[in-house]
Amino acid sequence: MFLTDRQTEIVSIAKSSGRVLVEELASRFSVTPQTIRKDLNDLCDAQVLTRIHGGATFPSGTENVKYEARRQIAASEKQAIGMAAVELIPSGASLFINIGTTTEAVGEALANHHELMVITNNINVANRLRLFPAIEVVIAGGVVRGSDGGIVGEAAVDFIRQFKVDYAVIGASAIDSDGALLDYDFREVKVAQAIIANARHVILVADSTKFERTAPVRIGQLSQVHTFITDHCPVPSIRNLCLEYNVKLIETSTRSR
């Protein structure tokens, strides 16, 4: 789904306040309530927002947003996170990139690197990076998940375990206040755990909306990460854990000021 400027701002308002109301949005944008209802219906059909009486809410809890809709959520923040991540990865390195819209932003930002070996279970990353002759792309085998092009399952885990790479770029669907990294699909989690175990430096990339959500399956703990890149970390306990475990915290919103 392509979001208009108004729809993008509506999503941003919903993300910050938790919900939006038709009448308030109509007044804010100087349009009719019918226009706002159409915007909200489009956003809810794409599962970017969830419809309620008189408005809509930003998805939370264990509700997993459709992959294409997730691309649009915090898109500029993900792009900035991707740019910050590739600054840590030198040309000539080997790296894992796993499934996720934020990890895909890292893949997009790698275009100017040379002599890279990228091992991924993300078809979208492989399809993008295969266009660059200076980057060797190795793709895992296994079950292809139709919803997002992720390759999951035991075959993918066994494939990942054949490598020991310089860097791993991982994402998470949710980050709990105790530092637990969470996801929805236990098959994807097993691949992510194999990636973490077989990388010398683990880079976690996640925008700040991940602090507002939860998911049922544990990937691991923040203590297993070397660098955490986000747009903003509003959770004091996460900041404390980064200090306790010597995890380098990079906030792109601070860098851009």
Instruction: Look at residue 62 and tell me whether its pLDDT is greater than 50.
Output: no
Domain ranges of the chain: 5-58, 70-255
Q: How confident is the model at residue 65 (pLDDT cuts 50, 70, 90)?
A: low
The two domains 5-58 and 70-255 share their CATH topology (first three levels equal) = no
Kindly indicate the confidence band of residue 139, based on its pLDDT and cuts at 50, 70 and 90: very high
Share of the chain above pLDDT 70, in %: 93
Residue 60's pLDDT band (boundaries 50, 70, 90)? low
Which pLDDT score, from 0 to 100, does residue 54 have? 87
More reliable by pLDDT, 111 or 68: 111
Residue 67 predicted with pLDDT over 80 = no
Question: What is the pLDDT averaged over residues 187-199?
Answer: 95
Give tens-digit pLDDT for 68-78. Answer: 666 667 788 99
Q: What is the mean pLDDT of residues 190-201?
A: 96
> What pLDDT is recorded for position 149?
87
CATH architecture of 5-58: Orthogonal Bundle (1.10)
Please determine, for residue 206, whether its predicted confidence score (pLDDT) is greater than 90.
Answer: yes
pTM (whole model) above 0.85: no
Cα(213)–Cα(208) distance, integer angstroms: 10
**What class is the 70-255 domain?**
alpha beta
> What's the confidence (pLDDT) of residue 110?
95
Q: What is the mean pLDDT of the chain?
A: 90
